[in-house]
Amino acid sequence: MRLIQNMSTIAESTEAEIPDQNRVIKIAVIGGSGVGKTALVVRFLTRRFIGDYERNAGKLYSREIQVDGEQVTVQVQDTPGAEMTDNGMSLPDHVSCSVQWADAVVLVYSVTDRGSFDLIRQLHQLVVRAGGAGVPPVVLLANKADLLHLRRVDSQQGPLLAGSLGCSSYEVSASEDYNQVHEAFHRLCCQLAKQPGPPVTPAAEKKRSPLIPRPKSPNMQDLKRRFKQVLSAKVRTATLV
């Protein structure tokens, strides 16, 4: 019951926004606080980097993209950050729900934050437990690679960790490089699109997983509003100068 309530707080929009014939690919993005989860999701879906984001309460973004010539709807669930505490890991409920909902998971840490790297194994365990018999595809993203002077995690450590977890890894910078971010997410989408099974329409999916309703909220409207705010702030600054 709790699961249903939590997932419905993620949902906001209408099913009409997902064309019925499209396959739906569901990706959850999880990691420590402030590692750039929102920045990465927004970069992938819009090509843009905004810079300052509202503190993340866990938004769902939805977009139609081409994967190997097929039109698919990709839903990306951004999540609040996990934190390391004296008693282990503090994990918002939303993160566990999102992992259960997703077909694939992006694990994010920041190369400037050793603690966020140390969380990855525990977050991966969460994914493994949620997957049961079949662990979903996972990709490890080391973000903020542009902040060379603040680096606390060596470049080799990401691939080593990924190797031991059995997933692929990328070192990226949401702020500096769209291509790397796009490649990481796009590869994951390709991997999912290749998996067998009929296209999953919203109606079919409802029947398949009655306990976990599909989160429905593309927040593209929200993003457009944010872009407008940022642009108008820049215009105001330029006028003052």
Ligand X SMILES: Nc1nc2c(ncn2[C@@H]2O[C@H](COP(=O)(O)OP(=O)(O)OP(=O)(O)O)[C@@H](O)[C@H]2O)c(=O)[nH]1
Note the residues at the interface with ligand X (CB under 6 A): 33-39, 51-53, 55-56, 80-81, 143-144, 146-147, 173-175
Report the residue number, 146 or 183, with the smaller CB distance to ligand X.
146
Question: At its nearest, how many Å lie between ligand X and the CB of residue 53?
Answer: 4
Do residues 121 and 138 lie in contact, with contact meaning Cβ atoms separated by under 8 Å?
no
Report the residue number, 47 or 208, with the smaller CB distance to ligand X.
47
Report the residue number, 26 or 37, with the smaller CB distance to ligand X.
37
- Strands 70-78 and 83-85, by their bridges, are unpaired
d(CA 165, CA 125): 9
Report the residue number, 237 or 239, with the smaller CB distance to ligand X.
237
Question: At its nearest, how many Å lie between ligand X and the CB of residue 24?
Answer: 23
Report the residue number, 143 or 201, with the smaller CB distance to ligand X.
143
Question: At its nearest, how many Å lie between ligand X and the CB of residue 184?
Answer: 13
Report the residue number, 37 or 214, with the smaller CB distance to ligand X.
37
Question: At its nearest, how many Å lie between ligand X and the CB of residue 106?
Answer: 11
Question: At its nearest, how many Å lie between ligand X and the CB of residue 198?
Answer: 34
Question: At its nearest, how many Å lie between ligand X and the CB of residue 227?
Answer: 14
